[in-house]
Amino acid sequence: MTEDHLAFYQGRKVMITGGLGFIGSNLARRLVGLGADVLLVDSLIPDYGSNLFNIDGIEDRVHVNVADVRQQSTMNYLVKDCEVIFNLAGQVSHIDSMRDPYADLEINCRGQLTLLEACRYNNPGTKVVYAGTRQVYGRPDSLPVTELHLVRPTDVNGINKAAGEYYHLVYNNVFGIRACSLRLTNVYGPRQLIKHDRQGFIAWFVRLAIEGQTIQIYGDGSQRRDFVFVDDAVDAFVRAGADDVCNGEVFNVGGSEPMSHRDLSALLVEIAGSGRVEYIPWPPEKKAIDIGDFYADSSKFTVDTGWTPSVALRDGLERTVAFYRRHWDRYVDPPGRAGGRA
Amino acid sequence: MTEDHLAFYQGRKVMITGGLGFIGSNLARRLVGLGADVLLVDSLIPDYGSNLFNIDGIEDRVHVNVADVRQQSTMNYLVKDCEVIFNLAGQVSHIDSMRDPYADLEINCRGQLTLLEACRYNNPGTKVVYAGTRQVYGRPDSLPVTELHLVRPTDVNGINKAAGEYYHLVYNNVFGIRACSLRLTNVYGPRQLIKHDRQGFIAWFVRLAIEGQTIQIYGDGSQRRDFVFVDDAVDAFVRAGADDVCNGEVFNVGGSEPMSHRDLSALLVEIAGSGRVEYIPWPPEKKAIDIGDFYADSSKFTVDTGWTPSVALRDGLERTVAFYRRHWDRYVDPPGRAGGRA
């Protein structure tokens, strides 16, 4: 284990793909603070989550390169000299992946291969930390879920994210590009997309609560999940990028407090002081890819890197609600242009 | 379980993608014999394994449509009215997948999505049997390997084949297209590609033995594998296609007698009455993606469908050697055009 994973980044050149997105931009803010030379690569595809306001206040301390990770010659150039690459670019909507599986394939499979091929031929000494997902496990056989659980995705997005992860491990094992994957559970916090509801329910619930609208819970809301505040997720990336013990491995990165949708939404309404909760039957297309209860055992990552989640759910939600209230017009389209329920 | 999985095919319209290839053409011969109305779809991509001679003698009893499974409008049309689709089209070379991962991605991921999307919108009542591979398991943790073993591919081909398999299961679960996957181990027998050595070692060894050449074994040849004669693999597809108990499931389809490379090559030289064996160090690019000992536990498939491998290795090899001796010029390029070791 690196003695000081924070000092590690001083003066180092790092790249974040998807760097204008939710986790990427929060990670950028942290790395800038640690003295890293930060390059953000982002394609700014509408509706995917990138937002130039996400780097408000650090825009003069990062390099932004608008590019698509699927563009091989671009990536061949950009990866040069990067000592650590945080690979967060991706299509993250499960529902979108079932409507257009090809777009998901292009971004989550081809895009990962493009980055890894760029490293293979132009910077094989680099380190890559991939943003994986607990979605690869599908409906769990037992709880909490460890990394020994079968990979059995329930939607196209989960399949392609699994393939993207496997590519990283194979390039680690075969070509010596040091790579690992963090299988994130439900990450929430400031700078997440809230323009539409297709990128996870928690950000959408935050928006509805702030707007004083009705949060619709499918079924009885008893399904339990774990939640990671984005600062904790960022800390996980920072540790994994600095620590070669992670190479060739996958790690769960989950929260410490599993909570039901019912309790979560009640807590959120309480914190926001607005909004209300309604229970409705499952829409068939969502039920078909739902995974029921899920919470992760992250002890492997804790043992290897010392990481633990430090932000309690109440605290994290308070900070999230406060952030969006402060910067509402940066994350929600003006009236008449709202994305609404898709 | 269908009472008579053989009678099931009488008069039924079936499609085989990759139908001019090794397993596809052997399956076509069987299905024609069972009275099925057989459509073979094949792109005839050079070096991938398709061979028009593979349907010698049945060419007037099958429909051949030369097309690429990646062509959506073509597949939209072809899947109509097919009651069972045997989905065997694919890129099967592990080595090729590490040289050109994009080609493997296109064929083994996009091609599977194209077929499944065609079914989703044009023939959702069909049944699809996918040719999976034991390669998805990677290096096994324990032997024999059951379907509960982690999926952990060691090369890009294994990753993309895993994704292709997962797509089938998701389309089964979400869209109701009845689908299953047979994870085949080393299939061997007549009509396999022997022009080059990048599609599995056993066919290449058969060629070398027949030619009186030297079979090079990597390392000490102690790694054990199981082998399935193609007629047994065909029987597995025929049973899976007729039996709805298989829907949404994956099944190992392996041989009954694990054997070391050392013993296999000795047996082959004995049967051929020609060739010899030499032991050489592992080439690094092959060692990096080798999986060591591997043999499958196929009892799940046996319990569900009654399938068991019936052709002993000696018998299968004798039939294979005899076939290639009889039809040598149909499978090996004339002198001066040989593919040789890649």
The pLDDT tens digits for A176-230 are 999 999 999 999 999 999 999 887 789 999 999 999 999 999 999 999 999 999 9
| Max intra-chain CA distance, chain A | 54
Is the N-terminal amide bond of B309 cis, ω within 30° of 0? Answer: no
Same domain, A140 and A266: no
Q: How large is the average pLDDT for residues A239-266?
A: 96
> For residue A237, what is the enclosing H or E element?
helix A230-242
Same domain, A15 and A126: yes
Query: Which of A150, A152, A170 lies nearest to residue B154, judging by beta carbons?
Result: A170
Q: Coil, strand or helix: which one is A68?
A: coil
| Total domains, chain B | 2
**Minimal CA–CA distance to A93: which of A183, A189, A185, A196?**
A196
Query: What's the helix, strand, coil split of chain B in %, to 5?
Result: 45, 20, 40
pTM: predicted TM-score of the whole model, two decimal places: 0.94
Same domain, B171 and B29: yes
Do A105 and B98 count as a contact with CB atoms less than 8 A apart? no
For B65, which DSSP code? E
Query: How confident is the model at residue B100, as a pLDDT?
Result: 96
Same domain, A249 and A261: no
Q: Coil, strand or helix: which one is A87?
A: strand
Q: Is B247 exposed, middle or buried (0-12, 13-18, 19+ CB in 10 A)?
A: middle
**Minimal CA–CA distance to B289: which of B91, B49, B22, B93?**
B93
The answer to whether B268 and B215 have CB atoms below 8 angstroms apart is yes
Same domain, A151 and A110: yes
Task: Annotate A275-312 with three-state secondary structure.
Answer: CEEEEECCCHHHHCCCCCCECECCHHHHHHHCCCCCCC
How far CA A206 is from CA of A281, A291, B41, in Å, comes to 21, 22, 51
Q: Give one DSSP letter per residue of A126-169, joined into a string.
A: -EEEEEEEGGGG-S-SSSSB-TTSPP--SSHHHHHHHHHHHHHH
Do the domain assignments include residue B50? yes
Query: How confident is the model at residue B340, as a pLDDT?
Result: 43
Buried b (16+ CB within 10 A) or exposed e, B278-287: eeeeeeeeee
Do the domain assignments include residue B234? yes
Same domain, B232 and B219: no
Residues of chain B contacting A177 with CB distance shorter than 8 Å? none
Residues of chain A contacting B98 with CB distance shorter than 8 Å? 174
Same domain, A91 and A235: yes
pLDDT at A339 over 70: no
Query: Which of A102, A148, A150 lies nearest to residue B113, judging by beta carbons?
Result: A102
Do A163 and B163 count as a contact with CB atoms less than 8 A apart? yes
The Cα–Cα gap between A189 and A26 comes to 9
| Max intra-chain CA distance, chain B | 54
Residue type, A228: V
Do the domain assignments include residue B339? no
Domain that holds residue B58: 7-188+228-253
**pLDDT tens digit string along A93-148?**
888 999 999 999 999 999 999 999 999 999 999 999 999 999 999 999 999 999 99
**pLDDT tens digit string along A42-89?**
999 988 899 999 999 999 999 999 999 999 999 999 999 999 999 999
Beta bridge partners of residue A259, listed in sequence order = A225
Same domain, B68 and B181: yes
Do the domain assignments include residue B47? yes
Q: Coil, strand or helix: which one is A180?
A: strand
Residues of chain A contacting B159 with CB distance shorter than 8 Å? 163, 166-167, 170
The Cα–Cα gap between B279 and A134 comes to 44
The answer to whether B75 and B121 have CB atoms below 8 angstroms apart is no
Same domain, A115 and A36: yes
Interface of A with B in 280-339 (CB under 8 A): 285, 288-289
Do the domain assignments include residue B53? yes
Do the domain assignments include residue A300? no
The Cα–Cα gap between A206 and A227 comes to 14
10-residue averages of pLDDT along chain B (342 residues): 79 98 98 98 91 97 97 97 97 91 96 98 98 95 96 95 98 96 97 88 94 94 95 98 97 94 96 96 81 94 97 97 97 66 37
The first and second tokens of residue B122, run together, are: 């044009």
The Cα–Cα gap between A328 and B69 comes to 47
* Residue B81, domain CATH: 3.40.50.720
Query: How confident is the model at residue B3, as a pLDDT?
Result: 52
The Cα–Cα gap between B47 and B197 comes to 10
Per DSSP, chain B holds a count of helices (H) and strands (E) of: 13, 13
Do the domain assignments include residue B304? no
The first and second tokens of residue A224, run together, are: 């339990």
Query: How confident is the model at residue A213, as a pLDDT?
Result: 97
Do A170 and B150 count as a contact with CB atoms less than 8 A apart? no
pLDDT at A340 over 70: no
Same domain, A79 and A112: yes
CA of A176: which chain B residue's CA is closest?
B288
**pLDDT tens digit string along A296-309?**
999 999 999 999 99
Same domain, B83 and B171: yes
Do the domain assignments include residue A340? no
* Residue B213, domain CATH: 3.90.25.10
> For residue A174, what is the enclosing H or E element?
helix A156-175
Do B109 and A166 count as a contact with CB atoms less than 8 A apart? no
pLDDT at A18 over 90: yes
**pLDDT tens digit string along B17-45?**
999 999 999 999 999 999 999 999 999 99
Same domain, A241 and A181: yes
pLDDT confidence bin for A286, thresholds 50/70/90: confident
CA of B106: which chain A residue's CA is closest?
A110
